Structure 1
Amino acid sequence: MMDILEIFGEFSYFGIFLVLIGVNAAPILMPPSWIILTSFYLLDPTLNVVILAMVGATGATIGRFVLKRISVVFRRFVAEEQKSNLDVIGNYLNNKKYGYVIASFLFGATPLPSNMLFIAYGLMRAKSLGIYVGFWFGRVISYIVMIYFGNAVLTPFLELFEDRLTAILLIDGAGIGLIVLFASINWTLLITKRKIKFVKPKIWRI
């Protein structure tokens, strides 16, 4: 991984921008973006933290846009009852002026991987510029914090998971579990009566 970072690091911010697009367009098996940005900064401390965070957030947002578009294709494999359930929460957020902005900002402002969020958006056929606006601003804030405290956060994280592939698999596994949980919530009942109930998690039409 360090060899790849050094190669793209030669192109400064533009190289970092390309790496972030590629990483965020992939649905699984990619390290969190904050680790990549922090690694770039540790390789070249002359980089401006704010500019680096903005470049990273822009690349991440474009990459997630691509991922969301790809995820729409997989909607055809989702069971009909699950489609209807996802459409309920999608329509609810569409009718809220700042629904997607707030949801994406709150998620983007954390260091959590956002691949499963945009896969969910794709399955919901979410259509709102607010998705990307909220996510971009949230990511800028989280990236600035993570880059500034890179040494304090990155080293313990890597020590916790000496095998980075194991860490990535665990994170992706947790994300997939959250997607199944999200799709299993009876959103009609939750939105109309504020009651939580789960429906049979039959996601795929197989």
Structure 2
Amino acid sequence: MDILEIITEFSYFGIFLILIGVNASPILVPPTWIILSSFYALDPSLNLMTLSIIGATGATIGRFILKNISSYFRKFVGSEQQSNLDIIGDFLNRKKHGYFIASFLFGATPLPSNMLFITYGLMRAKSFGLYVGFWFGRALSYYVMLSISNIVLTPLLEIFEERYIGILLLDGISIGTVIFFTSINWAHLITYKKLKFVRPRLWRF
């Protein structure tokens, strides 16, 4: 809590910087809404709308960094997975506002978005709409979660000291989700509307 109090001294700018760093990290970090709620609990004078906008902006910049770092790891992905990622990427590009809608729907939930942007990085997605959709989705979800934070908030210190295994479990599920996503035969699914998988070989070392 001492660290949070120090950051709070810098008001919105301090919160903005810490959120960029947290969202640029692929794993081992709590959901951003919990961090925002912790700051709000320390300083209830913070404006909910402003805090939501600051949070969405910091989260989007951080995820932009994470996506670009993740793109360098595409060379380690199996050729079949690369082909599948290209197919779903082309499919979203052909749909008007495809990336915007996908990112908004995901951003509007309190779910961690690290693996979403790692997947975007592996896909080498370049649509600006994915950032716009994510920003609007996160701004909305942060405002809702902050509004009810007095009911659902678990202090950040407790998360690290007593429920760290929960973060590890959540990261494990997220990694499994990426492997599952890249193992889907998207060409078969899009063409025949039937689920089929390719060999789940994600990393080639």
CA distance in structure 1 between the aligned counterparts of 2:5 and 2:70, rounded to whole angstroms? 31
Identity of aligned residues (%): 69
Relative to 1, partners in 2 of residues 1:103 and 1:154: Cα closer, same or farther, differing over 3 Å?
same
For residue 202 of structure 1, what is the amino acid of its counterpart? R
Which residue of 1 is the match for residue 95 of structure 2?
96
CA distance in structure 2 between the aligned counterparts of 1:159 and 1:24, rounded to whole angstroms? 20
For residue 204 of structure 1, what is the amino acid of its counterpart? W
Once the two structures are superposed, what CA deviation does each residue of 1:153-199 show, in whole Å capped at 9, x if it has no partner?
Answer: 11399989972321110110110010011011110011111111111
Listed as ranges, the gaps of 5+ residues in structure 1 are: none
Once the two structures are superposed, what CA deviation does each residue of 1:44-71 show, in whole Å capped at 9, x if it has no partner?
Answer: 0000001000000000000000000000
Once the two structures are superposed, what CA deviation does each residue of 1:27-57 show, in whole Å capped at 9, x if it has no partner?
Answer: 0001100000000000000000010000000
For residue 165 of structure 1, what is the amino acid of its counterpart? Y
Which residue of 2 is the match for residue 70 of structure 1?
69
For residue 82 of structure 2, what is the amino acid of its counterpart? K
Relative to 1, partners in 2 of residues 1:54 and 1:156: Cα closer, same or farther, differing over 3 Å?
closer
Which residue of 2 is the match for residue 119 of structure 1?
118
CA distance in structure 2 between the aligned counterparts of 1:9 and 1:160, rounded to whole angstroms? 19
For residue 68 of structure 1, what is the amino acid of its counterpart? K
CA contact (8 A) 2:89 2:125 kept: yes
Once the two structures are superposed, what CA deviation does each residue of 1:4-45 show, in whole Å capped at 9, x if it has no partner?
Answer: 211111111100100110000000001100000000000000
CA contact (8 A) 1:110 1:139 kept: yes
CA contact (8 A) 1:158 1:164 kept: no
CA contact (8 A) 1:98 1:130 kept: yes
SS in 2 for 1:17: helix
For residue 188 of structure 1, what is the amino acid of its counterpart? A
CA distance in structure 1 between the aligned counterparts of 2:125 and 2:173, rounded to whole angstroms? 23
Listed as ranges, the gaps of 5+ residues in structure 2 are: none
CA contact (8 A) 2:34 2:156 kept: no
Residue 137 of structure 1 pairs with residue 136 of structure 2: yes
Residue 84 of structure 1 pairs with residue 83 of structure 2: yes
* Alignment TM-score, normalising by the size of structure 1: 0.95
For residue 140 of structure 1, what is the amino acid of its counterpart? A
Structure 1 consecutive aligned stretches of length 4 or more whose deviation exceeds 4 Å: 156-162
Q: After superposition, where does 1:51-66 map in structure 2 within 5 Å?
A: 51-66=50-65
SS in 1 for 2:72: helix
Q: CA RMSD in A?
A: 1.7
Which residue of 2 is the match for residue 49 of structure 1?
48
* Alignment TM-score, normalising by the size of structure 2: 0.96
Which residue of 1 is the match for residue 165 of structure 2?
166
CA contact (8 A) 1:186 1:196 kept: yes
CA contact (8 A) 1:104 1:132 kept: yes
CA distance in structure 2 between the aligned counterparts of 1:130 and 1:155, rounded to whole angstroms? 33
